[in-house]
Structure 1
Amino acid sequence: MDAKARDQASTDIRVIPVTEVPWSDVRTVFGTRGDPATCWCQYFKLSNAQWRATDVPVLEAALCEQVRHSPGPRLIAYAADEPAGWVAVEPRPAYGRLHRTRVVARGSAEEPDDPSAWAITCFVVRVGFRRRGIASALLAAAVEHCRASGSRVVEGYPIDTAERKASSADLYHGGLSTFVSAGFEIVSRPQAGRAVVSLTL
């Protein structure tokens, strides 16, 4: 896609809180195959034992319930009125496993139980909608959502594709260049090809 086509595509993108869209659109974005369809953004919320013991319908039901009661509604992107992408963003304490992961434990300066620090943990962009600015639009909307919710700071844990070749599955963390373009600063590089980034609001 050339630059003109990308600019046109980006004007067709809308990002909406998931609480305002049909759940069937969420299912469309997560799909029926691959990591999103088997995780439902629950990995960072469960212990290893819970993760191994929980099947996919229960994971989906858990996300549906969290969306209704969580302080951090997730966001859905539409491209030309088609559900195209998703971003998960919440206060860091909502992600019990997050602060135990190597990248975050080694690289974040934030306290794990500080509710004023929010985390962007997951992007999903459907096949057929990639390289159209969906992730950038989702990130911008996530930052504005954090700001409106009274967040002090928002973190991300992206992959630096200039250092590390990443599959589309790996890129659920987001790409470092996308975060940097949105004004995030690199806090640390706790391991090869990974960064902790932060934006003070």
Structure 2
Amino acid sequence: MPIEVRPATSFADVRTMVGPKRPDADVCWCLSYRLSPKENTALHREQRGALVERLVRQSVPPGVLAYDGDEVVGWAGVHRRADTSFATNRRIPHLDELDVWSVWCIRVRPGHRGTGISHRLLDGAVEFARNHHAPAIEGYPLDNRGAKVDLTMAYVGTKKLFEDAGFVEAASTNSVLNGFPRIVMRKSLMRMDLS
């Protein structure tokens, strides 16, 4: 059965992908880049899940989910850059004034990794942004030059993953993760008028 990527409208499935095993645990919930640093630091334990549940109910949910049949197997956080901490991040430059979207987290469940789901998630994030009239979409992956990346830090993706999805390197950054520089990768979503 092919992997299907859909908007993240199921809180239960988002919780499966990014929530803690214990509801009172203080984990990311994929909010670190979705909120300002001050907002992110102020939220704890159940408050984090409650906020994600509200975000999932919004007209534009906070990302996309990958499914293998009825089983959720992947997550990608994607939204307008203006609604993320990338709007004010000084380490990752703004290229222009376009109302671009950002994809900042790609997670695949254990047991499903290495099967191409991250590629499908990134393609799904691009379609999600395109369906919401984004002129372009950016990611800020690691430029690991083929070196092994620690799985806990691989959530931002690699340059190759983004290149395979048609993104091009647009800028360097002052951000480093797991010892690797992060770069700005961008894909234009504007349709060309050929008439």
**Fold match (TM-score > 0.5):** yes
Matched, 1:172 2:155: yes
Separation (CA, whole Å) in 2 of partners of 1:48 and 1:18? 23
Alignment of 1:16-165 (within 5 A): 16-19=6-9, 21=10, 23-32=11-20, 38-69=27-58, 71-95=60-84, 97-105=85-93, 108-111=94-97, 116-162=99-145, 165=148
Q: Any stretches of 5+ residues in structure 1 without a counterpart?
A: 1-10
Give the secondary-structure state (helix, strand or coil) at the position aligned to 1:187: strand
Structure with the higher fraction of residues in helix conformation? 1
Number of positions where the alignment pairs a residue of Structure 1 with one of Structure 2: 180
Identity of aligned residues (%): 33
The alpha-carbon deviation at position 81 of structure 1 amounts to 3.2
Measure the CA separation in 1 of the matches of 2:156 and 2:96: 18
Residues 5 and 65, structure 2, Cα contact 8 Å, conserved in 1: yes
Unaligned runs of 5+ in 2: 175-179, 190-195
The normalised TM-score by structure 2 is 0.81
Answer yes or no: is the 8 Å Cα contact 1:122–1:172 preserved in 2. yes
Once the two structures are TM-superposed, the CA of residue 164 in structure 1 deviates from its matched residue by 5.5
Letter in 2 for 1:25: D
The secondary structure found in structure 2 opposite 1:39 is coil
- Secondary structure of 2:16's match? helix
Segments of 4+ in structure 1 off by > 6 A? none
How far 1:70 sits from its partner (Å)? 5.0
Go from structure 1 to structure 2 and tell me whether the alpha carbon gap of 1:60 and 1:13 turns closer, same or farther (over 3 Å shift).
same
Shift of 1:167: 1.2
Cα displacement string for residues 150-192 of structure 1 (whole angstroms, at most 9, x for unaligned residues): 1111100011222664211111111111110111010022255
